[in-house]
């Protein structure tokens, strides 16, 4: 669900639980929309709680986190705070790598201000979307 923040995860999970499908792999891509309103450690703690919940509901699933991708603009935030929020984004990514098994956090470091971002500085352009999906696919292929 595009633009969903951490507050939306319970609804998204409930929608998935109503399905008869049991996932082998779950990719969680959340957190960037919450950078301007939550502290880094709160975001990491919420993401790790989501991981525990998903593993409780789907004990055989692999839960992967997608790194918070680079943005040059954070909506609703003065441009002067963008560097601070980018530092928080990098800190969250580092903490995810520290608290997850190796290979269970998908990096998106190839997405930069020059490559992959759309004109709004927030959303991916066609090349960025391809890079994003390719990195997820590559990590999933390593698990299977």
CATH hierarchy code of domain 6-143: 3.40.50.1110
Exposure on the CB side of residue 87, measured as CA atoms within 13 A? 5
Distance CA 116, CA 14 (A): 32
Write down the pTM of the prediction.
0.84
Helix (H) or strand (E) holding 106: strand 105-106
Domain spans, the chain: 6-143
The rounded distance, in Å, linking the Cα atoms of 47 and 28 is 8
DSSP codes of every residue in 35-95: TTTS-HHHHHHHHHHHHHHHHHHSTT-EEEEEPPPP-S--TTS-GGGHHHHHHHHHHHHHH
pLDDT tens-digit map of 1-23: 555 566 667 676 777 666 677 88
In the predicted model, is pLDDT for residue 51 greater than 80? Answer: yes
């Amino acid at each position: 669900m595009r633009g969903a923040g951490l507050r939306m995860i319970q609804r998204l999970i409930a929608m998935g639980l109503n399905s008869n499908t049991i996932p082998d792999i779950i990719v969680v891509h959340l957190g960037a929309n919450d950078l301007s309103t939550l502290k880094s450690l709160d975001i990491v703690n919420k993401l790790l709680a989501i991981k525990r919940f998903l593993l409780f509901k789907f004990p055989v699933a692999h839960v992967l986190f997608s790194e918070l991708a680079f943005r040059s603009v954070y909506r609703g935030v003065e441009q002067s705070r963008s560097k601070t929020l980018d530092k928080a984004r990098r800190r969250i990514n580092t903490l995810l790598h520290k608290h997850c098994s190796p290979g269970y956090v998908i990096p998106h470091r190839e997405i930069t201000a020059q490559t992959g971002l759309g004109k709004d500085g927030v959303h991916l352009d066609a090349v960025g979307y391809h890079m994003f999906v390719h990195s997820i696919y590559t990590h999933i292929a390593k698990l299977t």
